[in-house]
Amino acid sequence: MLGKRSLKNCSLQLTCFILILLNVYLVLFSKQSQCPNVVERLRRNVVKAQKTGDNNETTKTHSSLTMNTSSQPEDISEMTPSQHPGPFHQIGDSDIWIYSAFYEPVKQGVDAPMIRALGVAMRNLSGLALSCHVTYEDRSVTTVSGRLRAALDHHHKSYSASFLYCPVTGTRKPSFVAFSLNKHETPGHEFQVMFPASKRERTFTVCYSVIYGNYDRYSMLLQSITYNRMMGAEHFFLYNQTMGPRADAVVRHFQDLGIMTVLSMPEFPANEAWYHSQIMAINDCIYRNRNISQFVAVVDPDEFIMPVQHHSWGEVLKAVTDREIKEKRGENVGVFAFEHSMFCNNRLNNTEWATFKKNFQLSDEEGKFIERNDITTLLELRRSNLVRFPVRSKCIYRPEVTRQPGIHYVRSLWSGYRNVVVNSSLGIIGHYKNRKGDCFLDHKIIWFYKKYLKALKSSYANVQAYLLNRSISTTNFQIYSNPEAKQRPITKA
């Protein structure tokens, strides 16, 4: 006899077969045979059916990281991140999916206000006219013609991050917008239009863009957050596609502290575009932080913006701006780009490590903490020569003057603003990605180690307290702590 799982698999295969027959029928006998991308739509329908079947199979076994009321601690290895509904919404039956919508006020280079929607679309649809159904504060609805544009960072993929621009007339403010292929079609999902903030809340925000591949490098993520906070970061945005249970626990800890915003980035249609729609996530993050955050740093968890002469990002940017003013280039800097250096994973040998601890006056306890928790920035001290801008560079943006950010450099700024490449004597982007090859030892880049160690100890202890307070086993968290540690309050240091 067939088991339940076999029956489900048979049912799924039958569903896919019926979908194939139905789409073949449409191709041969219906008007849809004249439409482009029918084969692509067929492929997507089959993928969706397979994913739906997979989700139905796993829904009962997935559990979010929640309080365990039983007397036995939960094993974190048995958990998976909670599944979130996707925020993408398709326009009709087209190859266009919208993720978010923003209001663009009149400014230099913008003659009239507009709505700018972000999403993923077939790149060959760039230039297509669509209908925007705009709902205003007084609940009146106006339909206007919008225009789809592909993002510049498409890497020649069939799909790309895309922008849909809808003009807004008059002095009324739009509240919602929906889209359709033409004005006669019923509009789809209604998006709330997000406006630039009226009040600044913070100086620095970090955008981690898309986390994918069941990412579970919890220690690297914790080191990155701790370091960025030490440099001045006050809030973090993370776009979650798939995350492992340990990284998920770290993220939830910082969510509970109110300093991390997590947005869902489902595999479909995000993975149809370059690098999991990373460029769309970056644009979304920049626009969400307009006027809320003075600066936005776009990095991955294994990338560190490292000051060379100063103690914070704010000090570095001030030094750069002062130099621009002194050299009569003005202070209208919209983007600060940092050149890239890869740190190598050929770590110090025992003799070099003993010398390093002696020269930097590290105690045995601090040395054990560094080794046990794999503190990458203090273990991988050899780096490559700089790669000159714009290759692999990363940037700190002023969001309200950024028109289209890029992955490694800004693609477009609003009129009157410019990009500046930060001199490597002031700061670089250090990338810890298991590189091998010719590298040189660079001790001076880690001038911050004492302050960083203190902050890291606090961070690791707070994560352990977070887990213990929720009766979650810390077996798979190799954090430096007292194995006899009891529940204690979590500090906000």
Listed range (2-6, 13-17, 359-363, 372-376) with the worst mean pLDDT: 2-6
What does each C-alpha distance from 215 to 5, 245, 379 come to in angstroms? Answer: 28, 9, 22
| pLDDT reading at 329 higher than 60 | yes
- Given a contact cutoff of 8 angstroms between Cβ atoms, the answer to whether 250 and 276 are in contact is no
| pLDDT reading at 35 higher than 70 | no
DSSP 76: G
pLDDT at 40 (0 to 100): 44
pLDDT at 463 (0 to 100): 92
pLDDT at 53 (0 to 100): 38
- Given a contact cutoff of 8 angstroms between Cβ atoms, the answer to whether 199 and 169 are in contact is no
- Strands of the sheet with 340-344, listed across from one edge: 303-307, 427-435, 340-344, 382-383, 440-441
| pLDDT reading at 18 higher than 80 | no
pLDDT at 19 (0 to 100): 54
Contacts of 371 (CB under 8 A, 6+ apart): 379
User: How far is Cα 340 from Cα 281, in angstroms, rounded to an integer?
Assistant: 22
pLDDT at 403 (0 to 100): 93
pLDDT at 159 (0 to 100): 96
What is the assigned CATH class of domain 202-469? Answer: alpha beta
> pLDDT (tens digit, 9 = 90+) per residue, 167-207?
997 788 999 999 999 999 999 999 999 999 999 999 999 99
pTM of the shown model: 0.81
User: How far is Cα 146 from Cα 329, in angstroms, rounded to an integer?
Assistant: 38
pLDDT at 476 (0 to 100): 65
| pLDDT reading at 33 higher than 90 | no
pLDDT at 15 (0 to 100): 57
What does each C-alpha distance from 356 to 177, 216, 479 come to in angstroms? Answer: 59, 30, 23
User: How far is Cα 146 from Cα 128, in angstroms, rounded to an integer?
Assistant: 8
- Picking from 374, 427, 399, 377, the residue whose alpha carbon sits closest to that of residue 235 is 399
Beta-sheet pairing, 96-104 with 191-194? parallel
The position carrying tokens 């957050």 is: 225
| pLDDT reading at 85 higher than 80 | no
pLDDT at 330 (0 to 100): 87
pLDDT at 41 (0 to 100): 44
User: How far is Cα 268 from Cα 270, in angstroms, rounded to an integer?
Assistant: 5
| pLDDT reading at 284 higher than 60 | yes
CATH topology for 89-194? Answer: Immunoglobulin-like (2.60.40)
| pLDDT reading at 368 higher than 80 | yes
pLDDT at 9 (0 to 100): 53
Domains 89-194 and 202-469 share a fold: no
Locate 440 and state its tokens.
């040189």
Contacts of 365 (CB under 8 A, 6+ apart): none
Highest mean pLDDT among 19-33, 187-201, 352-366: 187-201
| pLDDT reading at 47 higher than 80 | no
* Average pLDDT of the residues in 44-52: 40
Query: Helix H segments across 272-375?
Result: 278-288, 313-326, 350-359, 364-372
pLDDT at 306 (0 to 100): 96
Tally Cβ neighbours within 10 Å of residue 170. 9
User: How far is Cα 98 from Cα 179, in angstroms, rounded to an integer?
Assistant: 9
pLDDT at 21 (0 to 100): 56
pLDDT at 467 (0 to 100): 86
pLDDT at 191 (0 to 100): 96
Listed range (79-83, 207-211, 389-393) with the worst mean pLDDT: 79-83
pLDDT at 478 (0 to 100): 59
Beta-sheet pairing, 202-211 with 159-167? unpaired
Burial state string for 468-485 with b = 16 or more CB within 10 A and e = fewer than 16: bebebbbeebebbbeeee
Angle at alpha carbon of residue 278, lines to 198 and 297, rounded to 5°: 50
Mean pLDDT, the chain, integer: 82
What does each C-alpha distance from 53 to 57, 93, 243 come to in angstroms? Answer: 6, 22, 21
User: What are the domain boundaries of the chain?
Assistant: 22-54, 89-194, 202-469
| pLDDT reading at 148 higher than 90 | yes
Q: Is 133 exposed, middle or buried (0-12, 13-18, 19+ CB in 10 A)?
A: buried
Give me the percent of the chain exceeding a pLDDT of 90.
63
| pLDDT reading at 69 higher than 80 | no
Of 178 and 493, the one with more pLDDT: 178
| pLDDT reading at 333 higher than 80 | yes
Contacts of 49 (CB under 8 A, 6+ apart): 12, 15, 16, 19
